[in-house]
Amino acid sequence: MITAPERTPLARSFFDRPVLEIAPDLLGRVLVRATDDGPIELRLTEVEAYDGANDPGSHSYRGRTDRNAVMFGPPGHTYVYFTYGMWHCLNLVCGPEGKASGVLLRAGEIVVGADLARAHRAASRKDSDLAQGPARLATALSVDRALNGADACSDDGGPFRILTGTPPDRALIRSGPRTGVGGDGAVHPWRYWIADDTTVSPYRAHVPRKRR
């Protein structure tokens, strides 16, 4: 069978590189989420890099725990965590193995299965809102912790695949501080997005929560 080049799955070696190379290179790639009701395909428009070794913003900064264990495993797998008491966020583990780095998938454009995504995202009205933000993205794709550690680089019928897609012109790639990351982690411009794309989430600086 003939496979279009943009439909070629990314090899695991794609993720076995320094995370700061991988993160901008993920823009324009297509994440395929196979659900029981059918596929949902997401063109990535916004990501953030987390580098466990030197990065106080990373979940793996203080070493391995039960929660972040998959970040220390082989690249090309998912890392799903639960936050703010009600949301999930989806990351891709990057190599080299042992570095515990990863990329948070922050936003994208639903290119296939918008009806399925909308069913998961009852609050959304506009198509551009469906995956505009990390927890919205995970909700639209029906991702929770049951999918933590899934292999996204095998074609054995698992819940995820990642296709080559059509990366944007390098001139359209922007970078800046990561959303919601404070402290020493705020200095790194490790958020990457596609310029002028309506599915990119609005930037919010880190704000310590007030006591009540």
* Contact footprint for DNA (CB under 7 A): 48, 50, 57-60, 62, 65-68, 79, 81-87, 89, 91, 102, 104, 121, 123-124, 129, 133-137, 139, 178-183, 201-202, 204, 208-212
Structure tokens at 37: 């009701």
Smallest separation, CB 159 to DNA (Å)? 18
* Strand partners of residue 110: 42
Structure tokens at 202: 């609005």
Q: Is 191 in contact with 46 (CB distance < 8 Å)?
A: yes
Smallest separation, CB 100 to DNA (Å)? 9
- HEC sequence for 39-84: EEEEEEEEEEEEECCCCCCCCCCCCCCCCCHHHHCCCCEEEEEEEC
Residue 191 to residues 29, 50, 134, Cα–Cα distance (Å)? 16, 9, 12
Smallest separation, CB 4 to DNA (Å)? 31
Phi first, then psi, for residue 77 (nearest 5°) are -105, 165
User: Given the complex with DNA, which of 91 and 164 has the nearer CB atom?
Assistant: 91
User: Given the complex with DNA, which of 57 and 95 has the nearer CB atom?
Assistant: 57
Smallest separation, CB 175 to DNA (Å)? 16
User: Given the complex with DNA, which of 14 and 81 has the nearer CB atom?
Assistant: 81
Angle, CA of 122, 126 and 129, to the nearest 5°: 75
Report strand pairing: 191-194 vs 38-51: antiparallel
Smallest separation, CB 52 to DNA (Å)? 8
Question: Amino acid identity of 63?
Answer: G
User: Given the complex with DNA, which of 38 and 183 has the nearer CB atom?
Assistant: 183
Smallest separation, CB 210 to DNA (Å)? 7
User: Given the complex with DNA, which of 9 and 118 has the nearer CB atom?
Assistant: 118
User: Given the complex with DNA, which of 143 and 164 has the nearer CB atom?
Assistant: 143
Candidates 17, 55, 8; CA nearest to 190 is 55
